[in-house]
Structure 1
Amino acid sequence: MDRLVLKNGCAVALALCLTAGAGAEGTHDLKVTREFTAPVEAVWAAWAESEAVKAWWGPTGFTAPIAEMDFREGGTSLVCMRPPQGPNLCNSWTYRRIVPHERIEFDVDFVDVEGTPIDPAAIGLPPGIPDLVPHVITFEPGADGGTRMTVLEQGYASPETVEMSRMGLEQVLDKLATFVKQ
């Protein structure tokens, strides 16, 4: 289903791929496209630089105290977000492919603060969240000098898990939109 929503002055096009055929057999994917007023270089840098990631990563109310970026093909970044009440929730981002200012492909794994993989259920996440979530982020220049960015997350077990991820991702992208305006 596609729809256009206006959030914080930004047009948000959401495309949820909820059929079994959308991902690997029996899985569901999430695809969100967001228009930013900032140029591609600024939006790109927000994904690549430690201090930038710390400024916007995590849903509303979360902080990102750790963003140890190893932003290169084959590199692995450690990114942790902290809810208002509770411990850090950490992920590793292992980069498969990077095409500067066009595309980032990476796998997100749930890890502890040292980077050791952990079961998402062990940290209280609901069933249906896979241990590893492939991501593809694409960047396109807009006609007005802005950026059209698409986030594709792959391999969720259920439409409910996709919806939960979509809600968090929308909040994260709202924070990114605010950050790149500065």
Structure 2
Amino acid sequence: MTSFDYTLTRTVDAPVGKVWAAWTVAEDYGKWASAEDVVLDVRPGGAWSAVMVIPGGARFPLSGAYTEVVPDKRLVMGMNVPGRDEPVLMTLELEAEGDRTRVTLSQTFDSAEERDQAEQGSNMLLDGLTGFLAAA
């Protein structure tokens, strides 16, 4: 079966610990990810949920669970998708580069359309993260 994946990499002007906190502290995550009602239980098997607010005000409830947690290095999150038996996994990898951090997001999908939609959403997430860290 053919798979469709993407990998996005950005280097942000913040130390790795601050970037990790942005992804794992609910209050911080809500600020940069345009999310409300954020709950993050960051441990393998721990659940997460959030209501994403997109431009125009539409709200989308999302939920899932963490499958891998390596503090300050790697976070693998599953997202529940209606109509799918298995969650869609997103991998976040962090690599310290002095006072900066290289952030890599990757996902794999069954169709190019799903991949393209997710890649667009992940670019929006990285834009929000970059802005949040620059203002902090």
TM > 0.5: yes
Shift of 1:159: 2.1
Separation (CA, whole Å) in 1 of partners of 2:53 and 2:122: 15
Q: Deviations over 1:76-114 (max 9, x none)?
A: 11121023243x21222311111110111121113xxxx
2:47 and 2:32 map into 1 onto residues whose CA distance is: 19
Shift of 1:131: 6.1
Aligned-pair Cα RMSD in Å: 1.8
The answer for the alignment partner of 2:60 in structure 1 is 89
Residue 134 of structure 1: aligned partner: 89
The equivalent position to 1:147 in structure 2, one of 68, 85, 101, is: 101
2: CA distance, partners of 1:33 / 1:74: 26
Asked if the contact 1:119/1:131 (under 8 Å) is kept, the reply is no
CA distance in 1, matches of 2:57, 2:93: 33
Amino acid at match of 1:39: P
Measure the CA separation in 2 of the matches of 1:153 and 1:51.
25
Runs of 4+ more than 6 Å apart: none
> What is the TM-score normalised by the length of structure 2?
0.88
| 1:1-182 aligned within 5 A | 25-57=1-33, 63-83=34-54, 84-86=56-58, 88-110=59-81, 118-119=82-83, 132-143=87-98, 145-154=99-108, 156-181=109-134, 182=136
CA distance in 1, matches of 2:67, 2:111: 25
Please list every run of 5 or more consecutive structure 1 residues that lacks an aligned counterpart in the other structure: 1-24, 58-62, 111-117, 121-129
Question: When you count helix as a share of all residues, which structure comes out higher?
Answer: 2
Q: Equivalent pairs: percent with the same residue? A: 27
The one of the two structures with greater contact order (alpha-carbon pairs below 8 A, sep at least 6) is 2
User: For this pair of structures, how many residues does the alignment match?
Assistant: 134
